[in-house]
Amino acid sequence: LGSTHFSLTVIPANQPVLLGQKVILTCQVKGFKRPLDYAVLFKRKDVGISEKCQTYQKNKYHLECEPNNWLQATTYKLYINSVSWADRGDWFCVYAANLTRQHLVVHAPAELKKMAVTSLPFNPLKSENDRITPVDGSPVLAKLSKSSSSSTVSGTPGQPPAQHVGLGTRTNPYDLRPGLGLQLTCETTCGYPEANISWLLLNEVYLSELTMTVLCNLFSSISRDLPKLGD
């Protein structure tokens, strides 16, 4: 009868698979005499990737067979030239009734955006610390805000907010004054694993008194085109 052997090799080795990285999937068929009318297939989920030592998307995948004849080859190396978010999930090597599987996990590190500063003329409302729970392993974007204001509040509704003083640098820091608050907003792009944002104030890490908002629960390939949840 025989069997198939499927192994996953990542370049560079022993590291998480990142967006844009090159990956090699190696499939070995051994242990039985092969009939002439069966070809070894690579599939991702239910989508065919290659057949008879040829890939369907030559701009994305490259296949090498050893020996270079689909009727005689026993080793198949599928090169993913640049891993995308869509490449995550189960990969299959199929030969006749033999099938074996390997799961590919793709990491998409979130990028930290420049902190935004907004003037607040009144004391901001306090909110509970929310916690993000990813759905089906889908990446999320975390947006956290921390507000600071004095105990004295001035101003009336309808008036334009007071402008904060300073540039937020070491030499020209923000100057909090009576009746003026600042909202600092820290934001990341969508990523996987999910972003974990904390605040460092006077050399202490603060995770409480934060407002966390889920702005997106979708992620993309390296081009940042976003698939649907559970895709």
Model confidence pLDDT, tens digit, residues 43-56: 998 889 998 888 99
| pLDDT at site 61 | 94
Residues 84-135 have pLDDT tens digits of 988 988 889 888 777 888 888 899 888 888 888 887 765 544 444 443 334 4
The rounded mean pLDDT for the chain is 69
CATH class of 3-107: mainly beta
Instruction: State which of 14-18, 24-28, 31-35 shows the largest mean pLDDT.
Output: 24-28
DSSP for the chain, please give it.
Answer: --EEEEEEEESSTTS-EETT--EEEEEEEESSPPPTT---EEEETTEEEEETTEES-TTTEEEEEESS-TTT--EEEEEESS--GGG-EEEEEEETTEEEEEEE-EEB---BPPPEEEEESSPPPP--------STT--BEEEEEEEEE-S-----TTSPPPPPBS-SSSSS--B--TT-EEEEEEEB--BBSPP---EEETTEEE-SS-EEEEEE----STT-PPPPTT-
* Structure-model confidence comparison of residues 132 and 183, the more confident one: 183
pLDDT of amino acid 82:
92
Of 79-83, 123-127, 172-176, 212-216, where does the model show the most confidence? 79-83
pLDDT greater than 90 at residue 33: no
For the chain, the domains span 3-107, 109-231
pLDDT bracket for residue 194 (50, 70, 90) = confident
More confident residue, 173 or 129: 173
